[in-house]
Structure 1
Amino acid sequence: MVKDLEYAFGVPLVERSVRGVELSPAGRLALQRARSGLASFDHLITELAAEQSPILRVGTNPAVIFKMLPDAMRRLEAADERIRLRLRTGIVTEMLQSLWDGDLDCYVGRVDWDQMPQNMASLLRQDPLIRTDLVLACSVNHPLARRSDIAISELAEWQWVMPPAGSNNRIALETELRNHGVAAPVPMLEISADLAGMMILARELNVLTCVPRFILDTHIAAGELCQLDIPALRLPPIQISFVTLAEHENMAALQSFRRVLRATAEHFNDAAGVSGVD
């Protein structure tokens, strides 16, 4: 069967040696794409059997749920688009891997293309949506709130609530602190893929956290969180994008969802006076 597949594809899928056999680079790619295709096929079977409106499997980061997603859903409803969403939230690497494996139809969130394997990036399609700053925040009652003379070295003296090690926001913060000769803080609390929980804890406790800037304008912040004023601390901005596999980009439900997300992003960018496209 392997030889038949190699003949059909025109490339060797396994490398044979005295130690046995292992997948060739082409074989590893073929296996990955086959898994993705089978996952999508299983999802299609479930949809056809249900005889209901299509389910779009969407991966996202928690920040998107607070502002962009509700507005996009209202736009779908206004256009009488009968699409059901199945949401999964998680850190960037988890969501992109699930998209790559065929367990998601699209992903809406942060993407760092310079950290992505080239073989994956070449098969993805991206629509830039919004750009926002990454900032440090705390309760308005925190001793550092409203101060304009905060030294970066002071940040290590306070308790933190942070996303898990390896998450993009935490890596960005730790890298910038190290650039200023400050050790990365050891968080009092770590929360995975729960931005609301992180903000609530920062709101209620004397802890610092790191969040996208536009989150401070949501009801979760409730006017009780503020951005720390530290001009010397330069965290990289966050680009929120819509991403899907090239083979899925012509799905009708996916195109409708992308359209309302772009409309939502355009409205957000107009209000904020920024551009969402590089």
Structure 2
Amino acid sequence: MNDLLRKGMKINHLRLAAALMADGKLTDAAHTLGIAQPAASRLASEIEAIIDAPFYRREGRGIALTAEGRALAIRADRILNEIGDAGREIDELRRGLTGTVALGAVTGPAIDLVLPVVRHARIDMPDAQIEIEVATSDHLRDMVLDRRLDFAIARLPDDASASQFDYMPIGIEPMSIIARRDHPLLRAKTPIGIERLLGYDWVMPPSGAILRQTVERSLRDLGHAPPARVLNTSSFLLTLAAVGQSNAIAPIASAVAQIFGADGQIKTLETTMNLAVDEFGILTRAGAHLTPTADRVRDLVNDMIKRNKTA
């Protein structure tokens, strides 16, 4: 890097490299930077002179970075984001624990961990703004890598991309099967056997969702086929509505079942199935340095985890 700086590499060169990697067109990259296309072309020529290699090649109606260009662009994007984070951190240090923290969580931990943490944060950091994203692990992981989230409570990928994250395991996510309060199964002998459960419609997320995979794997391990009649939906509200207005049953996070069962409209079925989704934990970008406010919120999450374990 010192050699590139000595040769004249400047912030505008890094900004163009990052913009070209994101936009794929010189005109779009120029627009992103707020400069004319000739100025962008001139910066690209300067980059090629500095790295002593082709920066990009024309491909169809756009451009494709060369191997050397992409190597520069990846690091340029990282450098620019670090500079942005530094500005955000300096601003927070100047104003105290204020600013915005963006965190994500899968459904169960969002209820068990994030909501209590937000209540504590309101007292601990009254001027901080906390944004919460509740989604599936794959979506949350993408948001962490794209820097749209400071950190997430989600599952670590089981492939090579796991190296992109720093990870602190928390535990498994217990699941329950719910039904409406006057469902026929609630009059059955407990625990309810799988054969009786499979006699009803099920409401589950689409194929490939981890909750559905967990249910189908558990049934398969016990020698049963998946439910024959399934309403597929990723909408939690539609799941609750379908369960509340029919004889359908649904697997959901136990923490959620407890919350929505508090008014007695939804009941948790006592069954012979022992459901739990794979381990989840706290995910941050590998090597990321959180701002003081985000770091404090993560500390509050860790405190809540320890409190729950000793309760």
Please, what TM-score do these two structures have when normalized by structure 1?
0.72
Partner of 1:207: 248
1:262 corresponds to 2:302 = yes
Secondary structure of residue in 1 paired with 2:198: helix
Rate the CA distance shift 1:62–1:181 in 2: closer, same or farther, 3 A.
Answer: closer
Partner of 2:282: 242
Partner of 1:225: 266
Which letter does structure 2 place at the counterpart of 1:76?
A: A
Q: Which moved more, 1:43-52 or 1:68-77?
A: 43-52
Rate the CA distance shift 1:130–1:4 in 2: closer, same or farther, 3 A.
Answer: farther
Partner of 2:162: 121
Partner of 2:212: 170
Q: Render the CA deviation track for 1:222-248: whole Å, top value 9, x for unaligned.
A: 3333333332x3434453422111332
Distance 2:50 2:227 in 1: 50
Q: Which moved more, 1:222-231 or 1:173-182?
A: 222-231
Q: Render the CA deviation track for 1:158-204: whole Å, top value 9, x for unaligned.
A: 11222232221111112222332313444225124x3x553354244
Query: Where do 5+ consecutive residues of structure 1 fail to align?
Result: 15-20, 272-278
Secondary structure of residue in 2 paired with 1:188: strand
Q: Offset at 1:148?
A: 2.1
Which letter does structure 2 place at the counterpart of 1:230?
A: T
Aligned residue pair count: 256
Distance 1:218 1:153 in 2: 28
Residues 161 and 201 in structure 1, CA contact (< 8 A), matched pair in contact too: yes
Q: Offset at 1:209?
A: 0.9
Greater helix share, 1 or 2? 2
Residues 163 and 190 in structure 1, CA contact (< 8 A), matched pair in contact too: yes
Distance 1:140 1:5 in 2: 71
Distance 1:5 1:181 in 2: 64
Rg comparison, structure with higher value: 2
1:79 to 91, 99, 124: 124
1:216 to 236, 257, 282: 257
1:59 corresponds to 2:124 = no
Residues 130 and 269 in structure 1, CA contact (< 8 A), matched pair in contact too: no
Rate the CA distance shift 1:75–1:49 in 2: closer, same or farther, 3 A.
Answer: closer
Partner of 1:140: 181
Q: Render the CA deviation track for 1:100-145: whole Å, top value 9, x for unaligned.
A: 222221112x30443xx32x32231223345442232222322223
Q: Which has the higher contact order (CA 8 A, sep 6+)?
A: 1
Q: Percent identity?
A: 17
Residues 199 and 220 in structure 1, CA contact (< 8 A), matched pair in contact too: no
Please, what TM-score do these two structures have when normalized by structure 2?
0.65
Rate the CA distance shift 1:173–1:39 in 2: closer, same or farther, 3 A.
Answer: farther
Distance 2:129 2:65 in 1: 41
1:190 corresponds to 2:233 = yes
2:197 to 151, 155, 164: 155
Which letter does structure 2 place at the counterpart of 1:178?
A: R
Distance 1:5 1:136 in 2: 62
Rate the CA distance shift 1:154–1:3 in 2: closer, same or farther, 3 A.
Answer: farther
Distance 2:89 2:232 in 1: 40
Which letter does structure 1 place at the counterpart of 2:194?
A: I
Rate the CA distance shift 1:243–1:13 in 2: closer, same or farther, 3 A.
Answer: farther
Secondary structure of residue in 1 paired with 2:264: coil
Partner of 2:26: none
